[in-house]
Homo-oligomer: A and B are copies of this chain.
Amino acid sequence: MDTKTLCLGVLTHGDASGYEIKKAFEDGPFGHIQEIGFGSIYPALAQLLKDNLVTVTQYTQEGRPDKKVYSLTATGRLFLLDALDEPTEPDKVRSDFLFRMMFAHLLSPSALEAMIDERMAVLTEAIAGLEQRANSGFAPASETFIDGYALAIYRAMADYIEENRYQLVSASLLPQRAVAE
């Protein structure tokens, strides 16, 4: 799923600027699907415009910079529908945290504990945020489903780490063979 298709997806929820599309992938309804940066969004929007999959209207704002609001065209909508019909790619994960845990035996116990504590803090905060959102107002079925999915995963992560962290910490307390050899 490339950035262009991702942008088209957000635009089905209503017209938006590049900045607003980014926000949708941060805290908004697309927040747990993936992250995208401005360096991907603006070139993608320029390309979509060239291909007539979106149109743009420029709004002059007082105080703030001009806003370019993009709208989906009929062709754009069909393009998205076609993309949705293609085979689903497997999920892609990259966990800097897990990579570090792979080298628990090379870390000092205190450094390791600090990493795990930091990770737990991030998870606890994410869980609290999702719980709050779940109890506040109405959302479309898809958003409720995805928020619940993310919540279930974060809880599973936090529970697992809390119950098994001692395994890594004891490995860290052993003589650091890999460094010594």
What number of copies of this chain does the assembly contain? 2
A171 to B34, CA, bound (A): 23
Which among A46-54, A58-66, A85-93, A128-136 touches the partner chain?
A85-93
17 contacts between A and B (CB under 8 A): A12-B103, A12-B106, A32-B98, A33-B95, A34-B95, A34-B99, A81-B179, A84-B107, A88-B119, A90-B122, A104-B141, A105-B140, A140-B171, A141-B170, A149-B161, A152-B156, A153-B153
Which A residues form the contact surface with B (CB < 8 A)? 1, 6, 9, 12, 29-30, 32-35, 77, 80-81, 84-85, 88-107, 111, 115, 118-119, 122, 140-146, 148-149, 152-153, 155-157, 159-161, 164, 167-168, 170-171, 178-179
